[in-house]
Chain A
Amino acid sequence: MNNTTNVMIVGVGGQGSLLASKLLGHVVMTKGYDAKVSEVHGMSQRGGSVVTYVRFGDKVYSPVIDKGEADYIISFEVLEAARYLPFLKKDGKIIVNSQEIDPMPVITGAAEYPENLLDKMAELGVEVSAMDALALANEAGSQKAANIALMGRFSKFFEDITEEEWLKSIEACVPPKFLELNKKAFYLGRNS
Chain B
Amino acid sequence: MKEIMLGNKAFARGLYEAGAEVVSSYPGTPSTEITEEAAKYDDIYCEWAPNEKVAMETAFGACLAGKRSFCGMKHVGLNVAADPLFTISYTGVNAGMIICVADDPAMHSSQNEQDSRHYAIAAKVPMLEPADSSEALGFTKLAYELSEKYDTPVIIKMCTRIAHSQSIVDTEARVVPDVKPYEKNIAKYVMMPGNAIKRHPIVEQRTLDLIKYAEETPLNRIEEGKDNSIGIITSSTCYQYTKEALGDKYPVLKLGMVNPLPVEKIKSFAGSVEKVIVIEELDPVIENHCKTIGIEVTGKELFSIMGEFSQSVVAKALGEPEKEGCTAIDKLPVRPPVMCAGCPHRGLFYTLSKNKLNVLGDIGCYTLGAVAPLSAVDMTLCMGASISSLHGFNKALGKESENKTVCVIGDSTFMHSGMTSLANIAYNQSNSTVIILDNSITGMTGHQQNPTTGYNIKGDPAGKIDLEALCHAMGFNRVAVVDPYDLAETERVIKEELAADEASVIISRRPCALLKYVKHKPSLHVDTDKCKSCRACMRIGCPAISFKNNKAHVDNTLCVGCGVCQQLCKFDALLDKEGE
Contact = CB atoms under 8 A, between A and B. Distances in A.
Interface of A: 1, 12-14, 22, 25-26, 29, 34-49, 60-64, 66-70, 79-80, 82-83, 85-90, 92, 99, 101-114, 117, 120-121, 124-126, 134, 143
Contacts of B332: 79, 82-83, 114
B555 A39 contact: no
Given A64-B310, A114-B331, A42 B108 contact: yes
Interface stretch (B174-182, B336-344, B347-355): B336-344
A42 B333 contact: no
Contact of B546 (A41, A43, A107): A107
A113 B555 CA distance: 15
Given A40-B108, A64-B310, A85-B326, A104 B165 contact: no
B184 interface: no
Interface stretch (B299-307, B365-373, B476-484): B365-373
Contact of A90 (B326, B329, B365, B444): B326
A48 B335 contact: yes
B14 interface: no
Contact of B166 (A35, A43, A85): A35
B324 A68 contact: yes
A142 B263 CA distance: 60
Contacts of A35: 4, 166-168
A102 B546 contact: yes
A25 B4 contact: yes
Nearest to A101: B555
Interface in B367-403: 367-368, 371-373
23 contacts: A36-B165, A36-B166, A38-B161, A41-B32, A44-B108, A47-B335, A62-B240, A63-B165, A67-B312, A67-B323, A67-B324, A68-B324, A79-B332, A82-B329, A83-B335, A89-B326, A90-B324, A101-B555, A104-B541, A107-B545, A110-B372, A120-B329, A124-B326
B243 interface: yes
A108 B282 CA distance: 36
A188 B131 CA distance: 39
B325 A86 contact: yes
Given A37-B166, A113-B333, 10 more contacts: A1-B247, A35-B166, A46-B338, A46-B365, A63-B167, A79-B333, A85-B328, A104-B541, A109-B538, A134-B557
Nearest to B553: A102
A18 B547 CA distance: 30
B445 interface: yes
Contacts of B325: 67-70, 85-90
A126 B326 contact: yes
A105 B333 CA distance: 7
A69 B555 CA distance: 34
B475 interface: no
State the 6 A-B residue pairs at the shortest beta-carbon distance, nearest first.
A42-B109, A68-B323, A42-B29, A48-B337, A68-B325, A103-B335
Nearest to B324: A68
Contact of A39 (B164, B243, B367, B372): B164
Nearest to A59: B243
B interface, over-half SS: loop
A39 B335 contact: no
A62 B333 contact: no
B166 A103 contact: no
Interface of B: 2-4, 6, 29-30, 32-33, 108-109, 132, 161-162, 164-168, 237, 240-241, 243-244, 247, 310-312, 322-329, 331-340, 365, 367-368, 371-373, 444-446, 535, 538, 541-543, 545-547, 555, 557-558
B167 A103 contact: no
B336 A41 contact: no
Given A43-B29, A90-B326, A107-B541, A36 B338 contact: no
B239 to A, nearest CB: 8
Given A38-B165, A113-B333, A143 B541 contact: no
A61 B339 contact: no
A66 B166 contact: no
Contact of A114 (B6, B329, B373, B542): B329
B447 to A, nearest CB: 11
B237 to A, nearest CB: 7
B4 A37 contact: yes
Nearest to A47: B338
A5 B329 CA distance: 24
B240 A29 contact: no
A109 B324 CA distance: 34
B533 to A, nearest CB: 12
A143 B557 contact: yes
B99 to A, nearest CB: 21
A29 B541 contact: no
Contacts of B337: 13, 43-48
A46 B368 contact: yes
Contacts of A120: 329
A63 B247 CA distance: 15
A108 B6 CA distance: 37
B240 A61 contact: yes
Nearest to B7: A63
Nearest to B313: A66
Nearest to B104: A42
A112 B548 CA distance: 11
A91 B3 CA distance: 32
A43 B543 contact: no
Contacts of A79: 332-333, 335
A9 B161 CA distance: 16
A124 B166 CA distance: 33
Contacts of B237: 62-63
A144 to B, nearest CB: 9
A117 B32 CA distance: 38
Given A29-B4, A41-B164, A63-B167, A104 B327 contact: no
* B109, B312, B324, B333, most chain A CB atoms within 10 A: B333
A29 B168 contact: yes
A169 to B, nearest CB: 11
